[in-house]
Structure 1
Amino acid sequence: MQELSCFKAYDIRGQLGTQLNEDVAYRIGRAFGEHLQPKQVVVGGDARATSEALKLAVANGLMDAGVDVLDIGLAGTEEIYFATSHLHVDGGIEVTASHNPIDYNGMKLVREHSKPISGDTGLNDIKLLAEQQPWLNQPISRKGSLRQVDVLSDYVAHLLTYIKPVNLKPMKLVVNSGNGAAGHVVDEIERQFAALNVPVEFIKVHHQPDPTFPNGIPNPLLPENRADTAQAVRAHNAHMGIAWDGDFDRCFLFDENGEFIEGYYIVGLLAEAFLQHQPGAKIIFDPRVYWNTVEMIENNGGVPVMSKTGHAFIKERMRAEDAVYGGEMSAHHYFRDFAYCDSGMIPWLLVAELMCVKNQSLSSMVADRITRFPSSGEVNSKLTDPKSAIERVRAAYAPQASKIDETDGIGMEFDGPDGKWRFNLRSSNTEPVVRLNVESAGDQALVALRLEELLTLLRQ
């Protein structure tokens, strides 16, 4: 029995040829069908060269398990989330490797109501079935069907329900679709805006799908991938820049000066945007950096709720709390009315509306927040023994900590003579890396000092 190393904690991701190919994709589709026994499943794929063939292999596996397959074509992950709930089907599979290198591909899986399938909620069972292939030498009792469906206009119409389009004033927005996966959605938003006489002009960068990734890996978290968006914002005097990753479930925002805005500060803005419409609502946040988020939620009459990092944990907590919105500093934003799923399209719509309603630029909306709660951004360290490194930090800092939190990794707060600061340190679920975040109450120099201290201790 061949072990399938492409199965990760939350999704499927592997190097093409060695870890993932059409045979493995067929087995994943077949195992999904055998395990969940769905009647109908929706499939889609990103703009990578291998996504179409892998998607059809998955569809064949599903059909051989008796499942009727609905193919929505070139799509981002959130279009699968939307289609699964909107079409009332029993599951969805998006073929994507998101921001991984060009020689990778993968899949994200959901069940009915777009609920995530990860390790302990079915992914391990699907892995085992795909490895064992109990269907070999068994006759196919019913072959499912395959048909194309189009949900694009319904999906975009749903996106526009998060704002009041009438609130949007004349704006110029730079939109960088990476290597084109998000382009068709931008075009449909543009079409529906025009029908509603919404005065927004889109400056389109890297708009057409191109599987050769001529503009680099679609990952705007990497500083080297930000220049094209930033330059276009400045060249066109745009009000904001928006860039997406490869399956556009995350969006990254640039202010009118082309400056990249850390995802952390966008969480606070989106909390404010929701609380303007729904005072008293619960907002979920992750424990890496949160002082700014909590203050923004409380200042706007909301209820802050902390959750462990990771989409499966946040979605589960949002359902339990009936939270209207959840945000992670990594630019994942989750919405109750979007089946509690993450979207890279809803955030920029909300921020654009907030800019118009407040009559403020994006830079002026975040400048005060960044000054009040400066942060280091996430700093990763590749270590041979992450566990002992984390214990070293715990032993050194715990005696002075005013508060210790273990929701996710270790978080410690300090209120010493040199100022108020905190850090969070956690191990990656998928690689031998520890992730460190430091923030302070109004002291950028203190953030830099503590970051250097902590990294020296970690990397000994």
Structure 2
Amino acid sequence: MNSPFKAYDVRGQIPAAINAAFAYRFGQATAEFLKADAVVVGHDMRMDSPALAAALSQGLLDSGCDVLPVGQCGTEEVYFHTARSGADAGLMVTASHNPPDYNGFKMVLKGAAAATRDNAFAAIEEMVYADRAMPAVDDYARRGVVRPLQDRASYVERLLGEVSGHALKPLKIVCHAGNGCAGPIIDLIEPHLPFTFIKVDHEPDPTLPNGVPNPLLPEKRERASRAVVEHGADLGIAFDGDFDRCFLYDHHGRFVEGYYLVGMIAQRMLRDHPGATILHDPRLTWNTIDIVERAGGVAKACRTGHAFFKQMMREEDAVYGGEMSAHHYFRDFAYCDSGMLAWLDVVTELSATGTSLAELLEERIAAFPCSGEINFTVSDAKAVQQRLAERYAAQDPQVETLDGLGLVFDDWRFNVRASNTEPLLRLNVETRGDQALLKAKVDELTALIRA
């Protein structure tokens, strides 16, 4: 069996890799490794998630650690309550957008700092699979106690604070929750916002009657896009199961490439935080850098991945960081990612500029068209990267090695990086306002990669 412990989380199939016994022992190992006094625990809407959260909690309690349960929630709610409560860690039971027979745990440490293999998972994995009994308290009085965090008022207040003092336009918005956990939060903030919501697959449903809540699947995109057009909405929002990511559609039903959202949110944040630092990933950069520098901010590249962003956000005290994969990080949200804050910032920016999402999108696509991420199955990603570096060396490009290989020319650039989990090479290409050049370079690189 492959271990469910990954670089930044725990995930695997039920019941072979993830089950109640595993969750119980994971809770014990977490308490022992962290010497934890209190841990926040939440879970998504999946069929097995409440039972796994209960087993996880029992392992913590039996180890003398208090449990602060949030109940059914989004991952960002666990982040929020971990930072706010001062707990030693936060654990979210979720399979996010994975298939129905998967589940797992997302974890943050004290202050909602990122948990990684280096600072947590390797040690916890060793404890979980060690051939020994885990220590448990032998005195009933020393057992952990349950201290519920069911009240969502503080979290909702934080969301609404993102738009406080801003004049919002009365927009019509399609919300495609995918039968995940986002729907109830939309219901809670709806009375406080001047928006009309068209709700699609809105109620959390453990049976997933409309399929896996993955907004990137073609059939999911089509469903959200069609709803926007049919209802004459100003825009659409789609969430994955635990809503730490959101995806947007303009009023034409066109899917908005995550790259361009980073620039929009950066511009919004710099209105309130002049001169602040903005982080972006190195795959596609020119649009973000252009917007940030025009707005008087400082743009800095960060290696792709939530652990790297959460760490660098703290080191740079960055006000915002965005990845084209739809993870958006906020300084005033414990430097963590939030799908809810992201779309609220976009509608705030639309209201401030008086333009539509489509208009903003078309302007930025015209200035910096991009390929979007193109995946290739390769047997040796490093060999392909080396071949590309040698092929373009004579043109003396600027070489970027922060994450994969990036080559920068006067009027175009590209980045290729290997997937951390699959035998894939991921290609991103962009130009300075030249669609024809973009197509030519995508074709050229495709031929070289497949050679």
Please tell me the TM-score bracket, short chain as reference.
over 0.9
State the TM-score, normalized to the length of structure 2: 0.96
Aligned partner of 2:87 in structure 1 is 89
Are 1:154 and 2:154 counterparts?
Answer: yes
User: In the alignment, what sits opposite 1:386?
Assistant: 381
Q: Which amino acid aligns with 2:86?
A: H
Tell me the distance in 1 between the aligned counterparts of 2:344 and 2:233.
Answer: 15
* Residue 151 of structure 1, CA deviation: 3.5
Name 1:296's counterpart in structure 2.
291
Q: Is 1:206 aligned to residue 221 of structure 2?
A: no
- Per the TM alignment, residue 212 of structure 1 is displaced from its structure 2 partner at its CA by 2.2
Aligned equivalents of 1:387 and 1:89: distance in 2? Answer: 41
Measured after TM superposition, the shift of residue 135 of structure 1 is 3.3
How far did 1:60 drift? Answer: 1.2
Deviation string, structure 1 residues 33-64 (Cα, Å, up to 9, x no partner): 11001111111111111111111111111112
Measure how far apart 1:111 and its partner are.
1.0
Residue 148 of structure 1 and its aligned partner are, at CA, apart by 3.0
Residue 107 of structure 1 and its aligned partner are, at CA, apart by: 0.7
Find the counterpart in structure 2 of residue 168 from structure 1. 168
- Structure 1 pair 353/384, CA: closer, same or farther in 2 (3 Å)? same
* SS of residue matched to 1:412: strand
Amino acid at match of 2:413: R
Q: Corresponding residue for 2:412?
A: 421
Query: Does 131-140 or 89-98 show the bigger shift?
Result: 131-140
Note the C-alpha offset of 1:143. Answer: 2.3
Give the conservation status (yes or no) of the 8 Å contact 2:62–2:136: no
1:102-156 superposed Cα distances (whole Å, 9 cap, x missing partner)? 1111110111100111111211111111111543486645321234321412101
Shift of residue 227 of structure 1? 1.6
- Between 1:298-307 and 1:233-242, the stretch displaced more is 233-242
Matched, 1:351 2:346: yes
Tell me if the contact between 1:401 and 1:413 (Cα under 8 Å) persists in the aligned partners. no
C-alpha distance in 2, partners of 1:137/1:285? 43
**Aligned counterparts of 1:349 and 1:148: Cα–Cα separation in 2:** 28
Structure 1 residue 85 displacement after superposition: 1.1
Displacement of 1:11: 0.6
Relative to structure 1, the CA distance from residue 138 to residue 67 in structure 2 (aligned partners, 3 Å threshold; closer, same or farther) is closer
Trace 1:360-439 onto structure 2 (pairs within 5 A).
Answer: 360-415=355-410, 420-439=411-430
Give me the identity figure in percent.
Answer: 49
Give the CA deviation at 1:389: 2.1
1:193-218 deviation line (CA, Å, top 9, x unaligned): 1xxxx421111110011122222221
Residue of structure 1 in register with 2:180 after alignment: 180
SS in structure 2 opposite 1:345? helix
C-alpha contact 2:115 2:121 (8 A) present in aligned 1: yes
- Contact kept, 8 Å, 1:69 with 1:145, in 2: the verdict is yes
Distance in 2, Cα, partners of 1:179 & 1:116: 27
- Contact residue 385 and residue 416 of structure 2 kept, 8 A: yes
Question: Where does structure 2 lack aligned partners over 5 or more consecutive residues?
Answer: none
Match of 1:52 among 50, 53, 71: 50
Q: 1:25 aligns with which of 23, 26, 29?
A: 23
Counterpart CA distance in 2 for 1:134 and 1:243 is 45
The Cα of 1:391 is off from its aligned counterpart by 1.9
Structure-1 separation of matches of 2:135 and 2:269: 54
The counterpart of 1:117, out of the listed 115, 122, 127, is: 115
Of 251, 256, 270 in structure 2, the residue corresponding to residue 256 of structure 1 is 251
User: Could you list the per-position Cα deviations for residues 14-45 of structure 1 after superposition, in whole angstroms to 9, with x for gaps in the alignment?
Assistant: 11122211111112111111100111111111
Q: What letter matches 1:390 in structure 2?
A: Q
Aligned residue identity for 2:47:
A
Contact 2:63 2:137 in 1 (8 A): no
Equivalences for 1:324-343 in 2 at 5 Å?
324-343=319-338
Q: Secondary structure at the match of 1:349?
A: helix
Q: Structure 1 residues 224, 397: closer, same or farther in 2, change over 3 A?
A: farther
Alignment equivalent of 2:442, drawn from 420, 438, 451: 451
TM-score, with length taken from structure 1: 0.94
Q: CA–CA distance in 1 between the matches of 2:135 and 2:107?
A: 27
**Aligned positions, number:** 449
Q: 2:79, 2:90 within 8 Å by CA — same for their partners in 1?
A: yes
After TM superposition, the structure 1 stretch with the greater mean CA deviation from structure 2, 278-287 or 213-222, is: 213-222
Q: 2:31 and 2:112 mapped to 1: Cα distance? A: 16
Contact 1:6/1:20 (<8 A) preserved? yes
The one-letter code sitting in structure 1 at the alignment partner of 2:414 is F
Distance in 2 between residues matched to 1:177 and 1:330, nearest whole Å: 18
Instruction: Supply the AA of the counterpart residue of 1:237.
Output: G
1:143 maps to 143
Match runs of 1:318-329 below 5 Å = 318-329=313-324
Q: Which moved more, 1:337-346 or 1:113-122?
A: 113-122
Preserved contact between residue 413 and residue 422 of structure 1 (Cα < 8 Å): yes
Find the aligned partners of 2:390 and 2:150 in 1 and give their Cα distance: 56
- CA offsets 1:133-180 (integer angstroms, 9 cap, x no match): 543486645321234321412101101112235511211111111113
Structure-2 change in CA distance of 1:90 and 1:71 (3 Å): same
* 2:303 matches 1:308: yes
Instruction: List runs of 5+ in structure 1 lacking aligned partners.
Output: none
The question of whether the paired residues in 1 share the 8 Å contact of 2:282 and 2:415 is answered with yes
Q: Deviations over 1:238-281 (max 9, x none)?
A: 11100011110000011111111001000000010011111100
One-letter identity of the residue aligned with 1:435: R
Greater mean deviation of Cα atoms: 227-236 or 112-121: 227-236
Change (3 A) 1:396 1:42: same
Equivalence for 1:216? 211
The root-mean-square deviation of aligned C-alpha atoms, in Å, is 1.6
1:444 offset after TM fit, Å?
1.8
Q: Is the CA contact (8 Å cut-off) linking 1:152 and 1:188 kept in structure 2? A: no
Q: Conserved in 2, the CA contact under 8 Å of 1:376 and 1:438?
A: yes
